[in-house]
Amino acid sequence: KYEAVIFDLDGVICHTDKYHFAAWKCLADKLGVYFDEQINNRLRGVSRMESLEIVLENFSGKLTEQQKLQYSNQKNEIYCDLLKNMDSSDLSIEVKQTLDQLRRRGYLLAIGSSSKNAGFILKQIGLENYFDAISDGNNITKSKPDPEVFLMAAKFVNKAAEMCLVVEDAKAGIEAARKGGMDCAAIGDAVNCNMADYNLSKFSDILGICE
Ligand code: BG6
Ligand code: MG
């Protein structure tokens, strides 16, 4: 049924949540804004600037666009420093073996991520040059739930939307896939939104869908 699989990166291929959390918490503390894991979960799949807006919901003052840009840059610097802690051990054997198996079965494999750091993260975990295409925060103008990032990924692998399966851990990502006319499989938190075509209890369950 499918010819390509488009994977979200953060929360699907690897786990960067704790680094996002630590970096946003650092910024929030500096601004005197309350921030917790629950708020952090709302940032999944959302672009950096939109994430900042969510973090600032509890901020009473007013910031100029330039200040917002400065703060989002500060968060990113802290985040990138933390990403240096990642290495090939942050890619699970299950994920790697599943990807390899999909490839053997003839599927094209792509990344569809809102992150502008996708390339760096892939390099850290040893998957630089592994995927057939990477569509990320650097080649889009609208972030998930807009379908742009997935439509671009499909275009990069030269497949129609109906031929692509999206794998996502965020509600925003599931919405994006659906809007783009793609079937989607939810993993992790996204399972709870009950909007996906498939719910995965583990990554390797994809092999049951893409036979
Ligand atoms: C997504 C994450 O993959 O990338 C979001 O789920 C994050 O939490 C977004 O805000 C943007 O990431 P970056 O690396 O460009 O700041
Ligand atoms: Mg994600």
Q: DSSP per residue over 85-147, as a string?
A: T--GGGS-HHHHHHHHHHHHTT-EEEEE-S-TTHHHHHHHTT-TTTSSEEE-TTS-SS-TTST
Q: What is the mean pLDDT of residues 107-114?
A: 98
Query: How close is the Cα of 9 to the center of ligand 2, in Å?
Result: 6
The percent of residues in the chain predicted with pLDDT above 90, rounded, is 99
What is the value of pTM for the model shown? Answer: 0.96
126 is in an annotated binding site: no
Largest CA distance in the chain: 54
| Closest atom, ligand 1, to C-alpha of 116 | 15
| Position 192, amino acid | N
Give 34-83 pLDDT, tens digit per residue: 999 999 999 999 999 999 999 999 899 899 999 999 999 999 999 999 99
Q: Please count the CA atoms within 13 angstroms of the CA of 24 that sit on its side-chain side.
A: 27
Active site residues: 8, 10
Report the distance separating Cα 197 and Cα 65, nearest Å.
39
Comparing CA positions, the residue from 117, 98, 120, 125 lying closest to residue 109 is 98
> Radius of gyration over alpha carbons of the chain, in Å?
17
pLDDT at residue number 114: 96
- Residue 119 banded pLDDT, cuts 50, 70, 90: very high
